[in-house]
Chains A and B, each alone.
Chain A
Amino acid sequence: MLDVLSIPAPWYIIGPLMGLVIAGMYAVSNKHLGVSGSYVQFVDRARGRPMEVWRLWFLAGLMVGAVLVAVLGEAPQFGLRYGRLGEVLPIGALVAVLFLGGMLIGFGARWMGACTSGHGLSGCSTRSRGSFVATVTFFFTAVMVTLLLHWLTGGAL
């Protein structure tokens, strides 16, 4: 919005700082940073299990941080826009794809125990073998499926 922050910011600034956030959370509170764990709290709550409240505060902070970037920089997907996928698909199909894709993300993340952050960032940082396997698997799958979609849609996606 204010355009004082150019996005994407350089990787050699973002990456090391992100690493310090992951290590910092361990160093201060002995907690393993991961986002899907926050979503699990809602399901736990609905199924009558106790919640880890700090995970909800983490999620709230994450969202405030993203709002700050949208204000200082840009929010190119505001409203019903959804990048190239939104241009290729009509809105009805887009909603169906996002819902089904979301289900795959949720089911898969719960199955392997964490997501891009809990396995890909924090888990690899603690040298967790399960996290290495999960990270290689989901990155490889995501790249293959993306290339396949690109080919199937004749380069539209």
Chain B
Amino acid sequence: MNRLNLTSLLFGLAFGFLFAAAGFNQYDIVHATLLLEYLDPFFVMGSAVGTAMLTLWLLERRGWRTPLGGRLELRRWPAERKHIYGGIMFGTGWAVTGACPGTVAAMLAAGSALNLVTLVGILVGIALRDIVAQRAQRAAREPGVSSVVASEVG
């Protein structure tokens, strides 16, 4: 196992432990949170983001060199429509199942067999979105200029 995989395993372990210890992999806790009856998970996320944001800001400002991946480069995405469309779909699925990608894995690990169903649904959903995106790309390329674009994409 190389060093990147090993550190990913360890950070995953810590994340999964904290995640489950916060009760994020329990339907009743997630549901009560989204009903705004139990607010602690909002504080968990808020303080996590606050801590990480401050730490990353300091590291970025100092031009931190990571031991495994070169100079620190924080990933950022401009705001686009897809964030709203995707967010509405995602939020609806989240509300209905009380699950998101992280909780599904953590619920399964905690012995909740029904999450296999949700997991399969997620994989089908990802594949569907992939196919739709590919079709849209192809359609956009088609009218007349296909050869030019194809050579650019290479």
Q: Which residues of A come within 8 Å of B, CB atoms?
A: 5, 7-9, 11-12, 14-33, 35-36, 38-40, 42-43, 46-47, 53-55, 57-70, 73, 75-86, 94-95, 97-113, 115-117, 119-147, 149-150, 157
- Which residue among A26, A27, A130 has the maximum number of chain B CB atoms within 10 Å of its CB? A26
Q: Is the CB of A130 within 8 A of B77?
A: yes
B-side contacts of A157, CB under 8 Å: 31
B44 CB, nearest partner CB in chain A, Å: 4
Q: Is the CB of B68 within 8 A of A28?
A: yes
Q: How far is the CA of A117 from the CA of B22 in the complex (A)?
A: 14
Among B10, B75, B82, B86, point to the contact of A32 (Cβ < 8 A).
B75
A-side contacts of B126, CB under 8 Å: 36, 39-40, 43, 106-107, 109-110
- Which residue among B41, B78, B84, B89 has the maximum number of chain A CB atoms within 10 Å of its CB? B89
A-side contacts of B20, CB under 8 Å: 7, 65-66, 68-70, 73
Among A46, A47, A121, point to the contact of B49 (Cβ < 8 A).
A121
Q: How far is the CA of A22 from the CA of B127 in the complex (A)?
A: 27
* Total interface residues in chain B, CB < 8 Å: 111
| Majority secondary structure of chain A interface residues (helix, strand, loop or mixed) | helix
Q: Is the CB of A125 within 8 A of B53?
A: yes
Q: How far is the CA of A147 from the CA of B84 in the complex (A)?
A: 20
Among B11, B13, B21, B95, point to the contact of A142 (Cβ < 8 A).
B95
Q: How far is the CA of A61 from the CA of B15 in the complex (A)?
A: 8
A137 CB, nearest partner CB in chain B, Å: 3
Q: How far is the CA of A107 from the CA of B23 in the complex (A)?
A: 25
A55 CB, nearest partner CB in chain B, Å: 7
A-side contacts of B35, CB under 8 Å: 143, 146-147, 150
Given A59-B12, A138-B91: A66 and B56 interface contact (C-beta under 8 Å):
no
Among B15, B68, B82, point to the contact of A29 (Cβ < 8 A).
B68
Chain A to chain B contacts (Cβ below 8 Å), 20 pairs: A14-B18, A15-B43, A15-B48, A19-B55, A46-B127, A78-B112, A79-B113, A81-B112, A82-B27, A83-B26, A98-B115, A105-B93, A106-B123, A109-B100, A113-B83, A117-B101, A122-B52, A128-B75, A133-B79, A138-B94
B8 CB, nearest partner CB in chain A, Å: 4
B-side contacts of A126, CB under 8 Å: 53, 56, 74-76
